[in-house]
Amino acid sequence: MPKSRGALFALCLLLPALGLAAAGADAPPSDESIREVFEETHIQGIMGAALEQVKPNVRAQLQRELGGTHLNEKQRQIIEDSSQQRIALMQQALDWQLLEPKLIAAYREAFTQHDIDQMLVFYRSPTGQKAIAKQPQIMQQVGQFTMERVSAITPQLQQLQREMMQKVRAAADVATDPEAKPPSQ
């Protein structure tokens, strides 16, 4: 009997600790542990690299919008200036100081402290390090594939846009609805 009372006493002492451990598994992650994930995954650098990959696409998109029109030097300079303005705007919008609090909140909402701890174990492992190292290459390939796919359907999207605008103009009945005006070309 004394042994069982000792075991019962030990169990009573351990139960609160076990409950705390279980509660800790469901606890929201700390900002510091989330920042550790960001640091291990080099997310800030990856985002910067992604922005660098977008820069040529901005220029290419402007060129596509012009439809291969031959440009003089002044026109090329206008396009270059516009490209620079667009890139600067994207850099401001994607500034790490603005994004980090939003990303921390998203991680905090999506993961528990246990999840974050497990991520850190993975990202610090050789396989995790390999996954991190390969991520920019994968992102570049996905971005290139996505751009190719969007470019391939651009003529159809433009045609759908033209057809929709024709239908909207045709549907405007100015005679019965003075507020309805056909959209301009």
When mean pLDDT is compared over 103-117, 126-140, 152-166, the highest value belongs to 103-117
Residues 136-159 pLDDT 10s: 888 888 888 888 898 889 889 889
**pLDDT tens, position by position, 34-47:** 999 999 999 998 88
Q: pTM above the 0.85 mark? A: no
CA atoms within 13 A on the CB side of 20: 5
For residue 118, what pLDDT is reported?
97
Is pLDDT of 1 > 60? Answer: no
Of 97, 82, 101, 119, nearest in space to 31 by CA: 101
How far is the C-alpha of 26 from the C-alpha of 29, rounded, in Å?
9
CA distances from 114 to 31, 35, 49, 125, 126 (A): 13, 15, 30, 17, 20
